[in-house]
């Protein structure tokens, strides 16, 4: 039975990863910052030392296996928070993350590290897996530094360990803003969506599935998980209304304008040639994204 550790199982990607891994028959352990509920969970915060994690009983058993996977999903997210506290967020997102990954790799884990299109700043053209990062935000710069630190670990990896850096475009799920949109549209209300803010959406199930397929390859390197194209939030909301069968007349256009700071960079679709070749994952179509959203509610 394959084994996996999900760092950040209390986040929405981590939660979906755990669900899919267990559905596929994996022995999966998740970490949470708060109180844990069973023996398949470990209390851990990235502010803690890795020893507190690696010495936990569920991890001792996992580390005895010939090969296992660690999904390093835990992080401080959000452009605004990173801008407001660059020192504190960098400590978690870069220093502690790389330190933990080093210990995991030395324990023969294959580490899967989800990154972001924020590493490409305000790029307007598609970037492939070999493209050089060009971050313009604090969040993006932290992701670049973490990526570089992860890839340097390959020189220290055991014959069974490794690292995959996986850049994801915007992950959408039937919760948060999109969840409120769905609830409002189904309830007969009207929503507003920006015409001047862009995204390349992928669904939560697609993101988790892609991360697992990349883990299965145990091939170190850089991978991309992307939507097929880029659109405005207004276009996306209009297509969501169509998928819900309520009519796009209930979606009103608005502009964010230049005063909203910081602006989210990295709103670009990514090339996935390497990912498709080695993990057999294709860019997700918008129809597939919408089907996942509608069927999950």
Residue % of the chain over a pLDDT of 70: 94
User: Which three-class secondary structure state does DSSP give residue 148?
Assistant: helix
The domain ranges of the chain are: 3-169+203-226+269-283
Q: Are 68 and 110 in contact (CB under 8 A)?
A: yes
Q: What is 3-169+203-226+269-283's CATH number?
A: 3.40.50.720
Looking at per-residue pLDDT, the higher value among 51 and 130 belongs to 130
C-alpha to C-alpha distances, 185 to 139, 154, 188, 256, nearest whole angstrom: 32, 48, 5, 21
- What are the φ and ψ backbone dihedral angles of 110, each rounded to 5 degrees? -95, 110
- The torsion of the CA quartet 265, 267, 272, 274, rounded to 10 degrees, works out to 0
C-alpha to C-alpha distances, 224 to 105, 107, 131, 276, nearest whole angstrom: 21, 26, 11, 9
pLDDT digits (tens, 9 = 90+) for 208-251: 999 999 999 999 999 999 999 999 999 999 999 999 999 899 99
d(CA 61, CA 53): 12
pLDDT digits (tens, 9 = 90+) for 80-109: 899 999 999 999 999 999 999 999 998 889
pTM here is 0.93
pLDDT given at position 157:
60
């Amino acid at each position: 039975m394959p084994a996996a550790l999900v760092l950040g199982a209390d986040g929405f990607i981590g939660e979906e990863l755990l669900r899919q891994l267990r559905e596929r028959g994996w022995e999966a352990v998740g970490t949470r910052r708060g109180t844990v509920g069973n023996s398949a969970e470990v209390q851990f915060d990235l502010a803690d030392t890795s020893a507190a994690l690696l010495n936990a009983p569920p991890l001792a058993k996992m580390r005895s296996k010939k090969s296992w996977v660690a999904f390093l999903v835990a992080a401080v997210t959000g452009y605004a928070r990173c801008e407001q506290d660059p020192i504190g967020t960098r400590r978690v997102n870069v220093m502690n993350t790389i330190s933990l990954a080093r210990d995991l790799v030395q324990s023969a884990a294959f580490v899967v590290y989800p990154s972001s299109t924020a590493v490409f700043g305000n790029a307007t053209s598609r970037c492939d897996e070999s493209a050089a990062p060009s971050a313009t935000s604090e969040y993006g710069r932290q992701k670049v530094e973490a990526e570089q630190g992860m890839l340097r670990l390959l020189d220290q990896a055991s014959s069974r360990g490794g690292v995959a850096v996986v850049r994801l475009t915007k992950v959408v799920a039937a919760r948060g803003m999109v969840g409120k949109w769905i609830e409002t549209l189904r309830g007969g209300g009207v929503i507003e969506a920006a015409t001047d803010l862009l995204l390349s959406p992928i669904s939560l199930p697609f993101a988790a599935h892609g991360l697992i397929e990349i883990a299965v390859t145990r091939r170190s390197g850089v991978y991309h998980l992307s939507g097929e194209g880029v659109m405005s939030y207004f276009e996306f909301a209009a297509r969501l209304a169509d998928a819900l069968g309520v009519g796009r007349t209930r979606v009103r256009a608005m502009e964010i304008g230049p005063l909203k700071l910081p602006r989210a960079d990295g709103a670009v679709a990514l090339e996935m040639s390497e990912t498709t070749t080695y993990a057999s994952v294709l860019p997700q179509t918008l129809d597939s994204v919408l089907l996942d959203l509608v069927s999950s509610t």
